[in-house]
Amino acid sequence: MSDFRSTSGASSPGGAGHASPAGTTGIKASAPEESASGAQRAAGAAHATASKRSQRIILASAATQEAVDQASAIARTSTAVLIEGQTGTGRRHLARAIHGWSQRASGPLVGVAAAGIAEPLQARELFGATAESDPLGTGGSQGALDGAASGTLLIEQIDRLAPGIQARLTAALRNGSFSPDGSNEARPVKARIIATCSSAAELGLDPAAAQRIQLAPLSQRKEDVLPLAAHFLAELAEEGGVTAVGFTVDARRWLVEEPWTGNIRELRERIRQALVLAGTGSISAEALMLASEGEEVPSFKEAKRAFETRYVESLLRRCAGNISRAARLAKKDRKDFYDVIRRTGVDPTQFRH
């Protein structure tokens, strides 16, 4: 069980491409105590800003807008939610936003990754167990349903739970109560449950137990690609301490043409890698490793050498030609990094100021 504790709601739109629930402005972060130091207040403000930024929904397509509208309406209720979609489509992000838009935003957001729990331990993780029935023999355990209290419990990949556990969860939602393993005590379900899955058709969960939201793959909402790409470029450039210039014309064209089988997650990772390759200037289609079907595909050896060259140039540019510092950033021994420099033919002196 992981704890995604959140004390602030989703932000209101920060311009085109950002969405928050209609008719709301988000839940504000709690104000610091009057006696708090300036550093504490600054840290609190930074946390609130980061929380709001992480809960923005970037969109331009009608399909995503429909999902956000549905989510914002559901957020104002306490009903359970099932978010259906392919891996990487933003299921977790939308779940966080629903929590942040809801009246439960001041409570914890507790996450359970069903795929990472061995089947014999699933009941223990969700419902808890008494000392006598604890399969790990650790003296009993509080389950995630109790741990989420009056906040939100996010069960990721609920389809990876055993059918019997899904049925037990359905009963808990229907009855509003559950019992830990080894106990007859009926405990109230206080938390809202949000679950994600790839296909609801494969679930043993009662369809009537939760409201459903469908997230389309990125290939079916091409209008979202460029706004998302711009958002990730700005975000990742800020994290890396570099200046984001934008994308070349070719890069923008092929960003939209790419099938993005890995969805939003793949897009973000590709942009992260491109920032390393590009250094300064606009992000090219080559840096994004995008190309048309008619273009010649380089050999693996050629592509590796090109990557090494751009990577070395980017590091040396950032380190003003200082090989030792560049080697530390690359997490390589200085001698090994120098061998890479020599192999690429890059001259470190051209980057020295």
Q: Are the beta carbons of 247 and 293 closer than 8 angstroms?
A: no
The CA distance from 348 to 201, in Å, is 58
Domains for the chain: give ranges and CATH numbers: 2-216 (3.40.50.300), 219-351 (1.10.8.60)
Question: What pLDDT digit, counting tens, does each position of 171-200 carry?
Answer: 999 999 999 999 999 999 999 999 999 888
SS3 sequence of 283-316: ECCCCCCCCCCCCCCCCHHHHHHHHHHHHHHHHH
Q: Are the beta carbons of 226 and 256 closer than 8 angstroms?
A: yes
Question: What pLDDT digit, counting tens, does each position of 88-131 carry?
Answer: 999 999 999 999 999 999 999 999 999 999 999 999 999 999 98
Query: How confident is the model at residue 2, as a pLDDT?
Result: 46
Report, as ranges of residue numbers, the positions in the chain whose pLDDT lies below 50: 2-16, 22-50, 54, 292-295
The CA distance from 267 to 92, in Å, is 16
* Terminal CA-CA length for the chain: 50
Nearest to 99 by CA among 65, 59, 60, 51: 51
Q: Are the beta carbons of 121 and 136 closer than 8 angstroms?
A: yes
Q: Which amino acid is at 69?
A: D
304 phi and psi angles, rounded to 5 deg? -65, -45
Query: How confident is the model at residue 13, as a pLDDT?
Result: 33
